[in-house]
Amino acid sequence: MYKKFQFVATTYAGLEQVLAEELIDLGADEVEEARRSVYFSGSLELMYKANYSLRTALKILMPLRTFRIKRVDDLYHQAGKIRWEDFFDSRQTFAVQSKVFSDLFRNSMFASLKVKDAIVDRFRRVESRRPSVNINRPDILVNLHVANDQCTISLDSSGESLHKRGYRSGVHEAPISEVLAAGMIKLSGWSGSDSLTDPMCGSGTIVIEAAMIAKNILPGEFGRKYSFQNWKGFEKEAFIQVKNQKEHKNPDIRIYGSDISRENIDLAYKNAEKANVSDIVQLDIADFRTLEKRSDSSFLLFNPPYGERIKTGDQAFYSMIGERLKHHYPETTVWVISTNECLKSIGLKPEFKIPLFNGSLACSFREYKLYKGSRKTNK
């Protein structure tokens, strides 16, 4: 019987249910949704698989100790009780990342410093030498979460955020997160068996994530490193087996993307090639104002400009989107993410509204069903 561990997968607000479903599909036990996270249990191999396979997770954490504190020094003493030497040794580097919501600490850096001191002092006692701190590229990443008097110290098994797949090259002015893009695709109900169009694709993130889903290319396939690979007890053979369990598909569909900017399309092509999806992706330079519906694609999903990319109150742009959809995209399912203020100007009645965040910006992800003629005659 394998040893079972407790884990926490973090995500964006609004994607918790999608992430929970992904974990259940992977075989996770005791799956429980929380705010911007999902708790689950399983083997170390399952944790490897979660990091490698999940499309909507940002981090996979392994909690080591949860406790309450009354004073600042309690954090130091509790952190010092953890057997850090079971997870890494003094020759390795580490860093502590903190999220602190408590009046006990001046800032998160001060809390991180307390945990760092506890780890260093324990190694001095146990191994008579101390590990070094490396903020930029640590071997071991420790996570601290403090909410009022409740503290949890975890090992971060992922290292860099899992949204960093490794296929993105260059810098787009406002790229949507790969995790948010994958989450929106899953929330929309698109299964990967029909064509999909993103008519404002930017550097191609939605298009590429959709194509990866259609081909069953996993996020970890681009050679990124994970922090768990530096843990004591890392089972290299088990991780190799996880990486070898590929079941790629060859779907008979096209994923379409277009953008008014040649620079964006050039960048999207490079990203699609790096993600190994260029065989089913078609990218074109086109202005949505003149873009016609493709005969083989009745599913649109896109992220039009808003926030810093568009002037506040530019109702004309969103009114144009609504008019274009209404008159040129009959018998089409459309999903759009934007701010509530911008979406008011689309002038179409949504079927569903899902609150999401794009970075720190509160957004709404909405579905529109478009018909030929009036809606009444199609009921």
Would you say residue 235 lies in a domain? Answer: no
Same-domain pairing of 15 and 107: yes
Task: Summarize pLDDT for 21-47 with one digit per residue, the tens.
Answer: 999 999 999 999 999 999 999 999 999
User: What number of other Cβ atoms are within 10 A of residue 163's Cβ?
Assistant: 22
Of the candidates 106, 121, 156, which is a domain's last residue? 156
Q: Mean pLDDT across the stretch 248-267?
A: 95
Name which residue leads in pLDDT, 311 or 290: 290
CATH number at residue 198: 3.40.50.150
Handedness of CA 355, 356, 361, 363 (dihedral sign): negative
- Residue 279's pLDDT is 97
Tell me how many domains the chain contains.
2
CB 206 within 8 A of CB 198: yes
The predicted pLDDT at position 171 comes to: 64
Q: What is the dihedral of CA 293, 295, 297, 301, to 10 degrees?
A: 0
Q: Verify that 140 and 262 share a domain, yes or no.
A: no
**Helix spans in 142-261 (H):** 178-188, 205-215, 236-244
* Domain assignment of residue 27, yes or no: yes
Does any domain span residue 239? no
Quick one: pLDDT at residue 379? 46
- Whether residue 73 is contained in a domain is answered as yes
Sheet holding 140-147, edge to edge: 29-34, 37-42, 5-10, 59-68, 150-156, 140-147, 93-101, 132-133
Residue-level pLDDT at 374: 47
Output the pLDDT for position 64: 98
- With cut-offs at 50, 70 and 90, classify the pLDDT of residue 106: confident
Span 282-296, pLDDT tens digits: 999 999 999 999 989
Domain that holds residue 366: 178-218+248-378
Express each pLDDT in 42-84 by its tens digit: 999 999 999 999 999 999 999 999 999 999 999 999 999 999 9
Within a domain: 103: yes
- In a shared domain, residues 20 and 86: yes
pLDDT of residue 366: 98
